[in-house]
Amino acid sequence: MASKPRITKAFTLGFAAAVTMVCSILLASAATLLKERQDQNVQLDIKYNILSVLALADSKDVAPEVLLSLYDEKVTSFVVDTLGNPVSGREAADIDPKKEPELLPVFARQEGGTISAYCIPTQGKALWSTVKGYIALENDLNTIKGITFYSHGETPGLGGEIEKDWFTDLFKGKTILNAAGEVVSVEIVKGKVRPDEPHPEHKVDGISGSTLTGKGLNQFIKETLERYEPYFKTVRGEAS
């Protein structure tokens, strides 16, 4: 009679261990099987954001294959270095700015073989998180065509509003160069931009309660534009 509890206990422990092992195998298998799909979704989202700032797509509510076809048809990409020189043998989509800060990916909207707008990635610290996005410039490489912030961890309803259309639309038509041709970027101000204040063409309204988020964006957007400026100067010179 004394052996029965031990048998029951051993069986229970063995059964629990077997269930745990089976669940672990199933979870690991699911993660492996889903990783490819997750990676595809991430790449699709990135391409949508590039299309969006280049004014080639305004909704995700289209079939993935349509977005991918539009991207392949309308977007070209290449890599330059921080001196503005082309870099051969590298793909823009493969550049990790943290690991290779000397390489700069460029995405461009092409119409009949002619580039009509440029798109560059931007990222940096805001208040709570690293924010990632894209900036598109018209072919004068001065006027903002669009901007998007697709990845962040800012506070919903406050700094998190940076992803909303009402905020990103404020950047359209603003300019990044002053009268001397120097990069001044675009500043997110505290409160509203007053029509009588100096150089409103370089400023956009801030988000209420999100001053520090705005300051973070101001800093890394300007840093991004300054890093690309040697290449932009080259293109402006060729166009003049």
Say if 99 falls within a structural domain. yes
Return the percentage of the chain with pLDDT > 90, whole number.
Answer: 72
When pLDDT is cut at 50, 70 and 90, the band that residue 62 belongs to is confident
Q: CA-CA distance, 41 to 44, in Å (whole number)? A: 5
161, 189 contact by CB (below 8 A): no
Say if 179 falls within a structural domain. yes
User: Strands 75-81 and 86-87: what pairing?
Assistant: antiparallel
Count the domains in the chain.
Answer: 1
Say if 84 falls within a structural domain. yes
pLDDT tens, residue by residue, 75-98 = 999 999 999 999 999 999 999 888
Say if 23 falls within a structural domain. no
Query: At residue 135, what are phi and psi to the nearest 5 degrees?
Result: -120, 130
Say if 124 falls within a structural domain. yes
- For helices 3-53 and 64-74, angle between their N-to-C axes, nearest 10 degrees: 40
Say if 83 falls within a structural domain. yes
Tell me if residue 135 falls in helix, strand or coil. Answer: strand
Say if 205 falls within a structural domain. yes
Query: Is 1's pLDDT higher than 50?
Result: no
pLDDT tens, residue by residue, 160-187 = 999 999 999 999 999 999 999 999 999 9
The pTM of the full predicted model, rounded to 2 decimals, is: 0.83
Query: Is 23's pLDDT higher than 80?
Result: no
Say if 173 falls within a structural domain. yes
The residue segments making up the domain with residue 106 are 48-239
Side by side, the strands of the sheet bearing 144-151 are 86-87, 75-81, 103-111, 114-125, 130-138, 144-151
Query: Is 138's pLDDT higher than 90?
Result: yes
Query: Is 8's pLDDT higher than 80?
Result: no
